[in-house]
């Protein structure tokens, strides 16, 4: 008998995230995910009167395909997958990984080719802009290790954070969205030497409550591109393109990263910011508030939603909060401001709206744990 939690999650994906309608087409792209979950999404899609399409992927095979692929290989591969994506009304990316660092060691130039020749045309330009899409991880022993949990305990954690009441969360975030849309100056103070100032005037804000990511729980905007000044010292480890980084510190002048450092391979860190000019500017500022996610596990779909966190993202901005920055990079780096991570404040136009991870104004208190 199939685990009932799979059916509940499939219904959230189909009916809440993708809002599938009769006759629509959805692509289910499953990486190292169990057949039972793919079947559950297919069955939920059929009940909605929609048409499922499936692509089964293996991260190990993806590495073998990507590692030495030529430009001609990427162009034909992207052309085929782009043709299929253009036929879709919705997309679900079910991304498991037996090894979270499967792409480690692939040359930086090759990773750049993958982003430019495949990911950008198929996903950034088509899937993100033209479909109702949602992306989620699948629990694996590899993810459990990163979270420092047993496999069974991590599975229980996964289903609890992925199946929260997103409708209630959607109501609770409305006041924060309004505040971010009307704010101009943002001032962030945090652990170590974090002291960051920037503007979000006229950029807008978008609440995220299960429509694009599962798990979810954030509200994002973007800084005015050239407005960022100061220092940010991220206090969570992060994984980018198969490599781990910790204690990342960035200095900004007129919006641009002018100095970077980390514990580990600083040359590799700089190489990411040198991929293109937009990689040195910030494309997203977001506040996380999922009450069930408290600690980092080097998986950004979880870490960027941590209660009491924010992320400040070098690279590509989102179309909904356009700030003019274009890049093949979009790297969500996370800072946690709860007392157990050193505390900190976020202020809009001189008013502190969150201190030590807790929202202070009355209209935002429903976003504090355990309410959200």
Structural domains of the chain sorted by starting position, each given as residue range(s) with its CATH number in brackets:
4-162 (3.40.1830.10), 166-367 (no CATH)
Residue ranges in the chain whose pLDDT is less than 50: none
Token representation of residue 18? 């993708």
pLDDT confidence of residue 344: 98
Q: Which residues pair with 359 in a beta bridge?
A: 354
pLDDT confidence of residue 56: 97
pLDDT confidence of residue 222: 98
Residue by residue, DSSP assigns 13-32 as IIIIIS---TT-EEEEEEES
pLDDT confidence of residue 372: 60
- Which of 318, 330, 278 has its CA nearest to residue 133? 318
Distance, CA of 273 to CA of 281 (rounded, Å): 9
Beta strands in 61-181 (DSSP E): 90-95, 132-137
Distance, CA of 109 to CA of 239 (rounded, Å): 18
pLDDT confidence of residue 104: 83
CB 303 within 8 A of CB 321: no
């Amino acid at each position: 008998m199939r685990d009932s939690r799979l059916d509940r999650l499939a219904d959230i994906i189909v009916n809440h995230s993708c809002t599938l309608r009769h006759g629509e087409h959805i692509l289910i792209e499953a990486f190292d995910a169990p057949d039972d979950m793919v079947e559950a999404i297919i069955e939920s899609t059929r009940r909605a009167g929609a048409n499922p399409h499936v692509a089964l992927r293996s991260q190990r095979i993806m590495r073998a395909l990507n590692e030495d692929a030529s430009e001609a290989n990427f162009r034909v591969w992207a052309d085929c997958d782009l043709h299929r994506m253009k036929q879709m009304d919705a997309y679900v990316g079910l991304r498991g990984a037996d090894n979270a660092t499967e792409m480690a060691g692939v040359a930086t130039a090759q990773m750049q080719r993958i982003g430019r020749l495949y990911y950008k045309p198929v996903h950034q330009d088509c899937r993100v802009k033209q479909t109702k899409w949602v992306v989620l991880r699948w629990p694996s022993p590899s993810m459990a290790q990163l979270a420092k949990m047993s496999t069974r305990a991590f599975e229980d954690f996964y289903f609890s954070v992925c199946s929260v009441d997103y409708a209630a969360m959607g109501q609770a975030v409305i006041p924060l969205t309004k505040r971010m849309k009307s704010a101009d100056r943002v001032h962030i103070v945090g652990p170590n030497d974090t002291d960051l100032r920037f503007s979000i005037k006229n950029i807008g804000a978008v609440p995220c409550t299960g429509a694009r990511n599962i798990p979810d729980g954030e509200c994002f905007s973007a800084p005015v591109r050239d407005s960022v000044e100061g220092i940010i010292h991220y206090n969570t480890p992060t994984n980018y393109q198969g490599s781990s980084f910790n204690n990342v510190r960035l200095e900004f002048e007129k919006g641009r990263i002018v100095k970077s450092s980390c514990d580990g391979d600083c040359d590799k860190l700089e190489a990411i910011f040198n991929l293109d000019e937009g990689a040195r500017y910030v494309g997203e500022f977001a506040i996380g508030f999922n009450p069930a996610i408290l600690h980092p596990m080097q998986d950004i779909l979880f870490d960027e939603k941590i209660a009491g966190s924010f992320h400040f993202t070098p690279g590509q901005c989102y179309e909904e909060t356009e700030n003019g920055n274009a890049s093949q990079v979009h790297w969500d780096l996370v800072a946690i401001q709860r007392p157990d991570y050193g505390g900190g404040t976020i202020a809009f136009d001189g008013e502190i709206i969150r201190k030590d991870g807790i929202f202070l104004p009355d209209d935002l208190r429903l976003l504090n744990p355990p309410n959200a």
